[in-house]
Structure formats: C-alpha cells, structure tokens
Chains A and B, each alone.
Chain A
Amino acid sequence: MDETLAEFIKRTILKIPMTEMMTVLKAWDFLSEKQLQTVNFRQRKESLVHDLVLLCEEKRASVHDAALLDIIYTQFHRHQKVWDVFQMSKEPGEDIDLFDMEQFKSSFVKILRRALRNVTVSFRDAEENSVWIRIAWGTQYRKPNQYKPVYVVYYSQTPYVFTSSCQLKSNIPLLGQALTVASNHHKIVKMDLRSRYLDSLKAIVFKQYNRNFETHNTTVPLQERTLELDIHMDSRIIHENRIEKERVQRVTQETFGDYPQPRLEFAQYKLETKFKSDFNGDILAERKEPLRCLIKFSSPHLLEALKALAPAGIADAPLSPLLTCIPNKGMNYFKIRDK
C-alpha cells in the first residue's frame, strides 16, 4: 500500500468521531471482527487510527476500499456537503425504463473513462433502490485527487439526481452526460434548488413533504383545530384581536399545512426590476435601467421561520407567493425581472 493511500485512509478515519467509530467500521466491513478485536478502542484517537491503518495495510487495502470508507463517512455526515439537484428528461414516447443497476454502473464508468483516463469511480447501493457514486477527478497527466471528490445520489427510475457541489466546474458537463446516457435519459438540467439537507431536497422534488391526507380513518377532524393561544388557560388574560389572530392562523395553516416543513437554509432572489416608488420626484424612480439587487433570506430552518412570521406578527398574512412557492416549485433561487 503506497504512502499516499495510507495517508488518505489515515485522514479519513481521523475525521470519524469516536462515538461513531465502531458503527462506521462495521458498515465498511473491510476489517474483520477478529482484527477489530485486536485493537484497543479506549486509547487516544491518534494511536487508534495508527493501529487501524496498520491493519488496513496488512489486509492490503486498495483505493476502492478507501473510497468506500469515504462514501460511508459522507453518508453519515451528509450535512457537511452542499447538494445541488439536477433534473433529467426523456424524449416523449420512449420505451418503458427497464433499469438495470449493474448496466447503469458499467455504462457510467465507461463514459467517464472514455473521456478521462484518470478517474476513480466507486459505488455503494443504498435504500429504496438508490446508489451513491463517488468520483475523484484526475487529469490527463495527474492521478485522481482523492481529497476533492464529487458525490452523486441517484434513485433508480426517477428523473432527479443529487450531487455535492463540485469545485471543478469543468467536469460537470461530463458528469451530466454520463448520468443521462447511463440512466436512459435524453437531457439534464440543473435545478435552482440547493441545500445541505439531502433528505429535505429529496422530500421536495419527490413531493413527499406533505403526508397529511384526510381519510375516514382519521379521528381528529382538521377543521376543528383550536387556536394555538390557549384561551382557557387563565381567565384574567384577554386576547386582543382574537378574530384577526384566528384569521392569520387559518391562512398560515392553509398555506403551510400541518406537516413539518422540509429544511432549507436560504432563499435567494436576484432582482432586475425597475425601482417602484410612491414618492414623485424620487431620484431612483427616474432611473431607466433596472436596479440590480440580491436579497437573501437565511435561517437554520427557512421554511419553518417563514411559517412563523405571520403568527408572530412580523409579517402580514398571506405571505408573498414568492416565499410560499418554494417547496411547491422546488426552487430556492429566483431571478425576477420586469414582465
């Protein structure tokens, strides 16, 4: 095992928090139970990692084994990456998609290798017939850089692909082509949707975020939901504007529903519109060119924050459709121009 590989394995294992070490190593399934038993997991982390790397050397770990460990680590810490979403499309009237995972994988690798000799591609099957792909890019003359890989998550027979943001922008078209051809699609387009929370992105594009359905089997009728302000709490407390508060509550519930919102960290609006002002003779109002302006809303949980705006009295209800359309349209990057 050469030094660079040993170093890479060492750095990958070092990233793993001690509380997860056993779980990740077991998921990796490269070192046997026997080998793991010979290691003292109570020692200092550096010494533990040193011992583990020695075991990997004994077992002659390859680049692919190390790549697999990297995938598993990333699966446990997916929030550390920022994920983009791509949408693929087919020609109308195409045949039924008989997706064969093995064919997809071999086709994908073939297309990448045809263009780039130096590239490391690794696969790990995941739940719901999906696959995690790790790609380490090299160039014509340089070996793949294992420290800046791109991750791709693809659920079979769906048009959506999730990729971790790639710094090497030049490789994106090649990646897109490989994905499209291998999965029997025709075109691929980047969506204006980005977040750290992969599961929320999946919920948004697969339209799985609202799981509340009215059936005869539900016991609580949705219309009889009581106001969150518990009026019966204390008779000395009188709620002012009760009617208005109830209206706001109702409108918020209609817009956002009763379900937990998918998690996004920001919404960005790029405005290229002419300035509109009520005051006549305002300097900016005379400008003929559109004003360029970028508005960014940030939050640890943007959609829950937006949901709480009107009930908290900070904004009027109903909120602007530009804010409320985010999960429905599957966008959190907007470009607004004058019509």
Chain B
Amino acid sequence: MEWANDGKTRGGVLAHLERLEIQVNRSRKNLEDLQRAQAVESALGTKIHKLRCLRDELRAEAKQRQARVKASTVNVEPDQTPEISEQEVAKRRKENVKAILQAYRFTGLSGKLTSRGVCVCISTAFEGNLLDSYFIDLVIQKPLRIHHHSIPVFIPLEELSAKYLQTNIQHFLFCLCEYLNAYAGRKYQADRLQSDFAAFLAGPLRRNSLCNLLSFTYKVEPRGQSFPFCARLLYKDLTTALPTDVTVTYQGTDALSSSWEEQRASHENLFFSKPLHQVFTSFARKGEKLDMSLVS
C-alpha cells in the first residue's frame, strides 16, 4: 500500500470519510424528515376521516330534524293557528266514527239504536253484488216485539219470530238473513236471465214471488237450429239460491237423438250446480266459439 503523505491523499481518505459521513447524516435526516412527514400525513388522514364521520352524523341529524318539523307542520291547521280547538278534534272523530258505522252495512247485518230499541238492517248480496236492504225495527221490552219492518210478506217472518225471537235473537236474525239472502240471490238470477239472456228464451219466464219455481223454454243458440228445451227449476230449500229439483225436457213427439239426449242431461247438471245466469253465459260463450270455428 502506498502511503501518500501529501495533502491530497490525506484530504482524500478522511475527506472521503467526511463526505460519506455527511452523506449518511444527510440521508438519515431525509429519512427522518420523510418519516415525520408520513406521520403527519397519517395523522391528517385520520383527522380527515374523523371529520368526515362527524359531518355525516350531523347531516343525518339535520335531515331527521327537518322531517320532524315537516310532519309537525302538516298536523298544524292550514290557517296556521298553533292551537287546534277541542271542538274540531271531537267533530272530526265523530265524523270518522259515523263513517265507520255507515260502512257496517257492507257486513250484511248492521243496526242503529233507536229511542225504543234497535233498528236492524239486513243488506243482501249475491256473488259480490250488493242487493236490497231490509229493516226490522225492534222494541226492547219484555216481551221483545217488532214495531215495523220492510220484510216482504212471503218471507215466513211470523214463523221465525214465533220460534226464535223471544229465546234466541241471534238465531232469529241469522235465519232471517239466510232466507233474505237466498231470496235475493234467486231473484237476481231470474232478473239476469230475463234481462240479459232474453234472446235465448223462446217464451216468457214463469216465476213467482219467492222465485222458488222457474219455468222457461230456451235454446242453446239464439239464432241457431238447436232444439228448444223446457226447463223447470224448483227451489225447495228456501235458504239456498241453487235449485233442488231440475227437469229439462224436450217438447216434441220424436225421440231425441243421442247427442241431444247427452246435451239435455248435461244441461240438467249445469242448472243444478251453477247459478242460472252463469249457465247461460257459458251457452253464449260456446256459441261464440262455434261462430269462430265457422268463420275460420
């Protein structure tokens, strides 16, 4: 190894070392600065996150308060008097209750207290159609009696009241409901047949007050060449709206061909199982299908 004892060499190694030392210090300082900056950065980052959370919370609360205020302003009167009089509140409640009482009609059996007792209202319906309402005004005394009513004279009201009025008024009312609803249903079917399906009838519809005997001549196709059948429907059970006896006959002397005989028997079954106007609706639909097939 050559020791160079001139200034240059001395300046060389030591200076080099010095330079290296300075470099290390410098880099160490840089590293520390960097670390410090990073620390500050992360601290700031956490702060930002915290502030954001706080901001969201405050936003949510502000919204809630707004909504509360809005809701409370709706309840306040439009003329914006801060006090709602008790009278107004009571009036509104009364109207509400009155509306509910009026709507009770739709349950079929409703009533209103009168000065001497109660006025019961039986609202009849059939297949979702609201039909006539009938009333019985009862006097609450011993014995319970009927003051006046609007039940038709051919409904056995006297019989029912003799049996049940004094002992079991609930049964009395339910029986009466049954009779009236069944009557209303039978009447509805007969009326529908007369008005909507007059084209299928080859003569007048014979009926009676209770609509428990219907007799008519009909054709399956209104304009077609189908045979006229005579139908006789008996409703021996006054609490139902479907017949108990059905006879479909053919007016004529020749024996029916087997296909017409099939039809006759199927019609009898139809009248037993479906309401009258629905049977004729199905006839009409079959007729339409036939028409379509002829066209195509």
Contact = CB atoms under 8 A, between A and B. Distances in A.
Nearest to A159: B153
Contacts of B105: 215, 217
B219 to A, nearest CB: 21
B164 interface: no
Given A158-B154, A208-B150, A214 B209 contact: no
Interface string B210-234: 1011010000000000000000001
A238 interface: no
Contacts of B148: 207, 210
Interface stretch (A10-18, A38-46, A94-102, A166-174): A94-102
B44 interface: no
Interface string A196-222: 000000000111101101111100000
Contacts of B207: 129
Q: Which are the 4 A-B pairs with shortest beta-carbon distances?
A: A213-B135, A157-B154, A99-B208, A216-B101
Given A99-B209, A155-B209, A157-B208, A213 B236 contact: no
B101 A158 contact: no
Contacts of B215: 100, 102
A216 B104 CA distance: 9
Given A128-B209, A213-B119, 6 more contacts: A100-B215, A158-B154, A206-B153, A208-B150, A213-B135, A215-B105
A101 B209 contact: no
A98 B212 contact: yes
Contacts of B209: 99, 128-129, 155-158
A163 B46 CA distance: 108
A216 B154 contact: no
B154 A96 contact: no
- Judged by DSSP, the binding face of B is mixed
A155 B119 CA distance: 28
Contacts of A98: 208, 212-213, 234, 236
B114 interface: yes
- Judged by DSSP, the binding face of A is loop
A280 interface: no
Contacts of A205: 153
A235 interface: no
Interface in B2-30: none
Contacts of A208: 150
Interface string B148-167: 11100110000000000000
A208 to B, nearest CB: 7
A140 interface: no
A173 to B, nearest CB: 25
A241 interface: no
B98 interface: yes
Contacts of B115: 223
B238 A96 contact: yes
B112 interface: yes
A99 B212 CA distance: 8
Interface string A14-47: 0000000000000000000000000000000000
Nearest to A158: B153
B265 to A, nearest CB: 23
Contacts of B234: 98
B102 A216 contact: yes
B65 interface: no
A102 B206 CA distance: 9
Most chain-B Cβ atoms within 10 A of its Cβ — which of A96, A160, A211, A223? A96
Interface in A113-163: 128-129, 155-158, 160
A213 B121 contact: yes
B119 A156 contact: no
5 contacts: A98-B236, A155-B153, A156-B154, A206-B153, A207-B153
B270 to A, nearest CB: 21
Contact of A215 (B112, B206, B208): B112
A154 B6 CA distance: 157
A51 B255 CA distance: 51
Contacts of B206: 100-102
Contacts of A207: 148-149, 153
A217 B135 CA distance: 13
Contact of A100 (B101, B112, B119, B208): B208
B208 A129 contact: yes
Contacts of A99: 208-210, 213
B184 to A, nearest CB: 15
Contact of A97 (B101, B150, B210): B210
